[in-house]
Structure 1
Amino acid sequence: MDLTSGKICSTCGTQYPQQELSGTCVICADDRQYVPAGGQVWTDRSQLHDTFHVSWQELGPRLSDLRLSPRFAIGQRAILVRSPGGNVLWDCIPLLDEQTRIRIEALGGLRAIALSHPHFCSNMNEWAEAFNCEILIHASNSPWIVNRTPRLNLWQGDMLYLWDDLSLLKLGGHFPGSSVLYAPSLSAGGTVLLGDTLMVSPNGRHLSAMYSYPNRMPLPLQTVAAIFDRLDMLAYDTVHSYDRALSIYGNARQIAATSRERYGV
């Protein structure tokens, strides 16, 4: 079975194995996402390669932002974390072009792909095959994984230590297994990669947690409180959310505390 081929949802970027493809993307049919008013639209690898390329932006000495240009699907980005014990790709994007593969190989390849939640699985299998690495997704997110591979590692519990000073922490909320990547040495006070387990506001002054961001569906306040409780276990000053423009440098922990006060939890 070729898990690196098949159709790709143009709305969320999820890749489906051809034999499992139905009329509608199950990720988008879920209340957390949406099917466009004009109906389901599919694309594939060849069309993406013809139209898009992967653009890079350095976020720090060991941190690179990767996204499709022009913007595709929900505009998600992947973040390459470089670490002595092995590199991690945090979340995934729906295209791996040859220039990107060569560049990552020159930086040491990938030891793992770690996913915050199912919206960002994209074409994770193609990336994993190219770099001969495992895919880490929390087991609570298993029902929404549509393209499985033997490389898939469904981790359990509240925290998974990786190597060096890297670890995954389950916060829940947006999805049951929504997780963050914690890297204390990536900034002076520590860095948290959020995906959209928590969303940074466009003005950079607030963190929000929602069941569905595009459909404006809130989470119960007790769930929001639990998310902030778990985040408060970490020492950090920098956070990076799912989009290139949504990062906070230097005072992220204080902003998280202010955001929690606004929720009243």
Structure 2
Amino acid sequence: MATYDPHATDEHLVCTACGTQFPVTDRATLATCHICDDPRQFTPPAGQSFTTMAEVRTNHRNVFHSATAGDERLTSIASEPKLAIGQRAILVRTPAGNILWDCLTLIDKETVARIRDLGGLKAIVISHPHYYSSHVEWAAAFDCPVYLRAEDREWTVQQSPRQVFWDGEDVQSVLGKESTALAIRLGGHFPGSQVLLFGGHLLIADTLVTTPAGMGNWATDALGTPRERPVGMNSFAFMWSIPNMIPLSGEEVFAMWAILKHHDFTSTHGAFVGTDITDPNIKQRVLDSMQIQTKFAGWARQDAWKSV
């Protein structure tokens, strides 16, 4: 593997709103970010702006956190202070090698060294275009493939022979069956939006949006008396645009469940550090959340849920 030189991309421009790295150094040639011009994202009130990868490396660092208590196979990686959208990546340690779920803009020598100490990367899998960030550079640094859904290919701003645009089946084994990691295309937020299932953990990014009620603790009341979770509380939302609060249609949500219902899991891990839920009933909570959203959205086909 060729020696990775992060300074080779120091002058590459990075969108300050979404963190996408462009293979461009001349600001006069890059006036706007087409990802942020899409209705699922936004340009901030201050307007479109770009920074450089060198500035990102100077002003931020990547911090590693445990993603779930008692299971060292999942490690969150997040940039501090918050960079662009602020999502995390998750290092998934499988029997067939390490997978990076989602991606960060910041990649530097320290991050590369830390991940190599943990076994390196055999593959990168990205949930949707808002987290494409600098995936081409990450793939080059670890000389590994990066798996993206073919439905979302139009949102890539860089091309690389390491990009693998998988298509067809909604469920794909990552690194072969021995890894036991499955990428599952649910669609919704983007046509190719994916989740990753490994060891009972469902890594959901923004395909399922973890809600405050989902993170809420109703184990006891203020006096310490045990209680049950109130009826009607959702745990997840299903959004076409998260920042602009445009929900998915009932048909789209139902289509997501038609795929997800075939898979079992006991925890979910959202797009941001701390959005982890472990609950043996979490799959039922996903279904309950879908039914709550479609009911209040006025979906006329509520009787369709009776068949699931």
Shift of residue 5 of structure 1? 5.8
Shift of residue 232 of structure 1? 1.2
Which has the larger Rg?
2
When the two chains are superposed, the root-mean-square deviation of aligned CA atoms in Å is: 1.6
In structure 2, what residue type is equivalent to 1:198?
L
State which of 166, 180, 185 in structure 2 corresponds to 1:170.
185
1:193 and 2:203 are equivalent in the alignment: yes
SS at match of 2:97: coil
Shift of residue 143 of structure 1? 0.9
In structure 2, what is the Cα distance between the partners aligned to 1:122 and 1:212? 18
- CA 129–152 in structure 1, closer or farther in 2 if over 3 Å, else same: same
- CA 4–227 in structure 1, closer or farther in 2 if over 3 Å, else same: farther
Shift of residue 53 of structure 1? 0.2
State which of 17, 20, 38 in structure 2 corresponds to 1:11.
17
Runs of 4+ in 1 over 2 A off after TM superposition: 2-5, 19-22
Q: Which runs of 5+ in 1 are unaligned?
A: none
- CA 5–116 in structure 1, closer or farther in 2 if over 3 Å, else same: farther
SS at match of 2:94: coil
Q: How does 1:26-37 map to 2 (within 5 A)?
A: 26-37=34-45
Question: What TM-score does the superposition give when structure 1 sets the normalisation length?
Answer: 0.93
Shift of residue 4 of structure 1? 8.3
In structure 2, what residue type is equivalent to 1:143?
E
Contact 2:238 2:290 in 1 (8 A): no
State which of 102, 105, 115 in structure 2 corresponds to 1:94.
105
How many aligned positions are there? 259
- CA 24–202 in structure 1, closer or farther in 2 if over 3 Å, else same: same
SS at match of 2:159: coil
1:257 and 2:263 are equivalent in the alignment: no
State which of 139, 157, 166 in structure 1 corresponds to 2:150.
139
In structure 2, what is the Cα distance between the partners aligned to 1:33 and 1:176? 15
Identity %, equivalent residues = 38
Contact 1:4 1:125 in 2 (8 A): no
In structure 2, what residue type is equivalent to 1:90?
W
SS at match of 1:175: coil
Contact 1:3 1:125 in 2 (8 A): no
In structure 2, what is the Cα distance between the partners aligned to 1:114 and 1:49? 23
In structure 1, what is the Cα distance between the partners aligned to 2:101 and 2:76? 10
Partner residue of 2:269?
240
In structure 2, what residue type is equivalent to 1:241?
G
SS at match of 1:27: coil
State which of 212, 220, 242 in structure 2 corresponds to 1:202.
212
Contact 1:78 1:92 in 2 (8 A): yes
In structure 1, what is the Cα distance between the partners aligned to 2:33 and 2:9? 17
State which of 164, 171, 178 in structure 2 corresponds to 1:159.
171
Partner residue of 1:24?
32
State which of 121, 126, 132 in structure 1 corresponds to 2:137.
126
Partner residue of 2:197?
182
CA deviation string 1:121-177 (max 9, x = no partner): 111111111110001000000111111211100001211112320111100010000
In structure 2, what is the Cα distance between the partners aligned to 1:15 and 1:50? 16
In structure 1, what is the Cα distance between the partners aligned to 2:9 and 2:128? 19
1:70 and 2:78 are equivalent in the alignment: no
SS at match of 1:149: coil
Contact 1:3 1:147 in 2 (8 A): no
State which of 26, 36, 58 in structure 2 corresponds to 1:50.
58
